[in-house]
Chains A and B, each alone.
Chain A
């Protein structure tokens, strides 16, 4: 069978470089340089008609607004066009030349930014940044992604390294230098990288964590102040002040200024006797979100089988377009998109922004993804064809319109950025991705003490919708929310009994259920819960007001259990999980609404 020549490249080390970043702009730079490099490489190969790019595919039209997001993945696959008459050695030479030119230019510029253009510095950076490539022959029937990606997985295991590096040389030229790549990231502000990435170019002020966390105040109700005409102006001026070279970004002072300027959350007419603070407790936290498409590998295989290379290319193009559209949505929410390689996303965002919150943003991104996908005929054909093929190939797993899972970490503004990103990553890959059906959002409020509050919901569950609604419920009484958590816990065994329908042996210390297996029918669970509520919260006067709220909470509990039961089965562990998730919901509701206390958060 006729063979074609494929070339593939992987650049890095991405995670190692991300780990060196401390500030938000450094983190952005660590991610963006790779996207930027890949973009240059793609443009170069795109202009050479001897090569056909399989992925990543360039955007059809240039971006309308620069969002600063990296859109290009770290892998490239090319094919030498079949009609091209050229021998292996020449192809290899050309391929290496293109990449080397781009790489060397990058190294020179990176050295300048890192602070030294001497040979030692350039050599160091050359050994640090990885440009690993392969050339391989595949037949027309071979799926290039299925054949090549695993090879790139292996290549990435070999570390680049600098066996010995003398700081003596560096210390002579620049006394502060020690870790070159760290210096490269630190000096990124004002380098050429900003020009290509942001509308304001080098004038762009990359927001720090606290600014991202409080971005919601930009459009808040603003107390008229002679100094500033609008909330946006006040906000910008405050943060600009702290970017001056001589002023240390002192979180306490920033928060104080924000509170002073955004001190009244009443609407103009009826000012209450005690004005509230627009600066809330959640303003001290930033959402770090990592997302990844579910079962994309399977979809790619289906695409190749039913649409060949053309389908893969179309899908790759779609991913970049979607990445761009998603970055715009995130920016509209006043979030900060870092990397949006189609199905693989990293961004920072405020927890709430006026009437929107981070979970609503996630829903919007999901909808955008789904809408765009369902317009792609290649995808629809591939899914239909593949699933039909299950009739003859019993081992085949069913594929549907892909979904996205999210890991969401609510990180305190003083918490190390690196840890927050690791947490979001872990929530995504170790929790969300392991829930049956995936399509899950796993969120967690990170506290210094190590203690955390969080839950995971499949976004198809009704529970997810109920949860979103409750978070936006303005009628919520904050004291009810905090007290009810204490009130519910002693009733845990009873809840478990009602939910599972199994007997609990109260005589033993642990809850080892006896195996009476009768599944309660729906009516009886609701009835039992209502009885419980009637019995325990029946004191006239004390319980009248919270009654409605308690019933809402119990309804949430039952719905959560119903949803989880479907995935995890009807058993006490599932009941525990449901109860814990309801706590997490309550805690979130409290978190989303509580004012900020005088004392600083832990």
Chain B
């Protein structure tokens, strides 16, 4: 079993579809925005494709030439929540996506900092500043998802606090915004993602043909990375162009075995108590999600004291839907997909779950599931926490 690191550097503007897309079934939206990170399902798909390619199992149209060999190599189908047994052939595990750059690797910062308007006492002018939010439960009773014998309280929060998207550099512990802004030029906190809007008119639509699509580029040298456990020897790949995402944008992919001193890998693989998010709340009584996570309702109600979290709606593209239902297709490649019938609401990476420190270890174990939907998600990189 070998662990590989896969790096994907965007060569142009990219677009990853989220909940709202123009899609074959959705003409309601005139404006859609790319999500910043690719889904783990997208990464699985890319890896499966790469393996087929490097083993010469596709013809020039992308159609698989040997179904039996395909099954052994990458499994019969793509991701499905009922697949927690069959696996994906030689691909054993995927780890969460993160960002890599010339100055180190980044993960999503825990959602414990708010952006407040702070008034300067002397001049009276207001500026925005990051404020740490300390979890200080108060005496009393509360009822959110269930009865609790305390009242959750975040010191530093006010009614106008915004939660900015932040990244944490694992090497130098610096915090940065996700998005690049001209107002922050020169500021080390300035982000990595650069918005790029595309406006157009769909000539086929008579009235509502106008559309707006917001994609992203990244600063030079930055890209997405993830680790994967693969039971197969792969020759290193260096900067091979590959297409990814809803718009099929170009990325350069590199695949190599991990180095011995790859500390980022250790973070994901060992998940031993680690203090990367030691501030402003103690690591022992909180769980920070390193990847998007699926949690059952009962589990949430029972174990989570308070969630400082954001959620989003998720449907994956299923490859095991019958041909006739496949709205997303490539007929030449004999490839049909459609959105899953089940709609998931996942907790976003960076979300913080406050728990009883006595129960933390137990909860961490349960998070990864056991022969269930959570386990299926965990296998391809969801449901990782620290």
Chain A residues packing against B (C-beta within 8 Å): 22, 88, 92, 96, 127, 130-137, 149-151, 153-155, 157-159, 161-168, 171, 178, 416, 429, 434, 436
Q: Are B306 and A165 in contact (CB under 8 A)?
A: no
Any A CB within 8 A of the CB of B157 = yes
Q: Are B342 and A154 in contact (CB under 8 A)?
A: no
**Besides A163-B346, A165-B344, 7 other A-B contacts (C-beta < 8 A):** A132-B144, A134-B140, A134-B143, A135-B140, A153-B158, A159-B311, A164-B344
Q: In whole angstroms, how far apart are the Cα atoms of A134 and B150 in the complex? A: 9
Given contacts A132-B142, A150-B157, contact A416 B307 (CB under 8 A): no
Partner of B308, one of A157, A162, A166, A434: A157
Residues on A with C-beta less than 8 A from B28 are 22
Partner of A153, one of B31, B157, B307, B347: B157
Residues on B with C-beta less than 8 A from A436 are 124
Q: Are A136 and B152 in contact (CB under 8 A)?
A: no
Residues on A with C-beta less than 8 A from B139 are 136-137
Q: Are A165 and B343 in contact (CB under 8 A)?
A: yes
Residues on A with C-beta less than 8 A from B144 are 130, 132, 155, 158
A296 → chain B closest CB, angstroms: 11
Q: In whole angstroms, how far apart are the Cα atoms of A434 and B118 in the complex? A: 11
Any A CB within 8 A of the CB of B220 = no
Residues on A with C-beta less than 8 A from B294 are 163-164
Q: Are A150 and B158 in contact (CB under 8 A)?
A: yes
B263 → chain A closest CB, angstroms: 32
Nearest residue, chain A, Cβ from B295 = A163
Q: Are B154 and A161 in contact (CB under 8 A)?
A: no
Q: Are B297 and A127 in contact (CB under 8 A)?
A: yes
B299 → chain A closest CB, angstroms: 9
Given contacts A429-B160, A436-B124, contact A158 B307 (CB under 8 A): yes
B224 → chain A closest CB, angstroms: 26
Partner of A166, one of B30, B143, B341, B345: B341
9 pairs, A vs B, C-beta closer than 8 Å: A92-B141, A137-B140, A155-B152, A157-B308, A163-B344, A164-B342, A164-B373, A416-B31, A436-B124
Encode contact with A along B41-74: 1 for CB under 8 Å, 0 otherwise. Answer: 0000000000000000000000000000000000
Any A CB within 8 A of the CB of B159 = yes
Would you list which residues of chain B between 73 and 122 have a CB under 8 Å from chain A? Answer: 117
Q: Are A133 and B158 in contact (CB under 8 A)?
A: no
Q: Are B343 and A151 in contact (CB under 8 A)?
A: no
Q: In whole angstroms, how far apart are the Cα atoms of A411 and B345 in the complex? A: 33
Q: Are A161 and B141 in contact (CB under 8 A)?
A: no
| Smallest CB-CB A-B distances: 8 pairs | A136-B140, A135-B141, A168-B341, A161-B345, A161-B311, A154-B154, A134-B142, A165-B343
Partner of A136, one of B151, B310, B344: B151
Any A CB within 8 A of the CB of B32 = no
Q: Are A150 and B153 in contact (CB under 8 A)?
A: yes
Any A CB within 8 A of the CB of B309 = yes
Residues on B with C-beta less than 8 A from A150 are 153, 157-158
A417 → chain B closest CB, angstroms: 12
Q: Are B154 and A157 in contact (CB under 8 A)?
A: yes
A563 → chain B closest CB, angstroms: 17
Any A CB within 8 A of the CB of B278 = no
B370 → chain A closest CB, angstroms: 16
Q: Are A165 and B342 in contact (CB under 8 A)?
A: yes
Nearest residue, chain A, Cβ from B117 = A434
A544 → chain B closest CB, angstroms: 45
Residues on A with C-beta less than 8 A from B341 are 166-168, 171
Chain A CB within 10 Å, residue with most, of B30, B124, B138: B138
Residues on B with C-beta less than 8 A from A135 are 140-142
Residues on B with C-beta less than 8 A from A159 are 307, 309-311
Q: In whole angstroms, how far apart are the Cα atoms of A280 and B321 in the complex? A: 54
Partner of A434, one of B126, B158, B161: B126
Chain B residues packing against A (C-beta within 8 Å): 28, 30-31, 117, 124, 126, 138-145, 151-154, 157-161, 294-297, 300, 306-311, 341-347, 373
Residues on B with C-beta less than 8 A from A22 are 28
Given contacts A135-B141, A163-B295, A166-B343, contact A158 B308 (CB under 8 A): yes
Nearest residue, chain A, Cβ from B300 = A163
Q: In whole angstroms, how far apart are the Cα atoms of A178 and B294 in the complex? A: 20
A93 → chain B closest CB, angstroms: 11
Residues on B with C-beta less than 8 A from A134 are 140-143, 151
Residues on A with C-beta less than 8 A from B138 are 136, 151
Nearest residue, chain B, Cβ from A7 = B141
Q: In whole angstroms, how far apart are the Cα atoms of A136 and B152 in the complex? A: 12
A233 → chain B closest CB, angstroms: 29
B305 → chain A closest CB, angstroms: 10
Q: In whole angstroms, how far apart are the Cα atoms of A158 and B310 in the complex? A: 8
Residues on B with C-beta less than 8 A from A137 are 139-140
Q: In whole angstroms, how far apart are the Cα atoms of A502 and B153 in the complex? A: 52
Residues on B with C-beta less than 8 A from A416 are 30-31
Residues on B with C-beta less than 8 A from A132 are 142-144
Q: Are A157 and B373 in contact (CB under 8 A)?
A: no
Residues on B with C-beta less than 8 A from A136 are 138-141, 151
B225 → chain A closest CB, angstroms: 28
Residues on A with C-beta less than 8 A from B300 are 163
A140 → chain B closest CB, angstroms: 17
Q: In whole angstroms, how far apart are the Cα atoms of A133 and B152 in the complex? A: 11
Q: In whole angstroms, how far apart are the Cα atoms of A2 and B30 in the complex? A: 59
Residues on B with C-beta less than 8 A from A434 are 117, 126
Residues on B with C-beta less than 8 A from A127 are 297
Partner of B153, one of A96, A151, A166: A151
Q: In whole angstroms, how far apart are the Cα atoms of A157 and B308 in the complex? A: 6
Q: Are A151 and B151 in contact (CB under 8 A)?
A: yes
Residues on A with C-beta less than 8 A from B311 are 159, 161
Residues on A with C-beta less than 8 A from B117 are 434
Q: In whole angstroms, how far apart are the Cα atoms of A101 and B300 in the complex? A: 24
Given contacts A134-B141, A134-B142, contact A162 B306 (CB under 8 A): no
Chain A CB within 10 Å, residue with most, of B126, B152, B158, B346: B152
Q: Are B343 and A167 in contact (CB under 8 A)?
A: yes
Chain A CB within 10 Å, residue with most, of B139, B151, B306, B344: B151
Q: Are A157 and B160 in contact (CB under 8 A)?
A: no
Q: In whole angstroms, how far apart are the Cα atoms of A354 and B159 in the complex? A: 39
Q: Are A166 and B342 in contact (CB under 8 A)?
A: yes
Q: In whole angstroms, how far apart are the Cα atoms of A449 and B142 in the complex? A: 48
Nearest residue, chain A, Cβ from B315 = A167
Q: Are B159 and A163 in contact (CB under 8 A)?
A: no
Q: In whole angstroms, how far apart are the Cα atoms of A157 and B306 in the complex? A: 9
Residues on A with C-beta less than 8 A from B31 are 416
Q: In whole angstroms, how far apart are the Cα atoms of A135 and B126 in the complex? A: 35
Q: Are B140 and A157 in contact (CB under 8 A)?
A: no
Q: In whole angstroms, how far apart are the Cα atoms of A164 and B346 in the complex? A: 9
A146 → chain B closest CB, angstroms: 12
Nearest residue, chain A, Cβ from B304 = A158
Given contacts A136-B139, A162-B345, A164-B344, contact A153 B159 (CB under 8 A): yes
Q: In whole angstroms, how far apart are the Cα atoms of A130 and B154 in the complex? A: 19
Q: In whole angstroms, how far apart are the Cα atoms of A433 and B341 in the complex? A: 45
A584 → chain B closest CB, angstroms: 22
Given contacts A134-B141, A159-B309, A163-B295, contact A168 B342 (CB under 8 A): yes
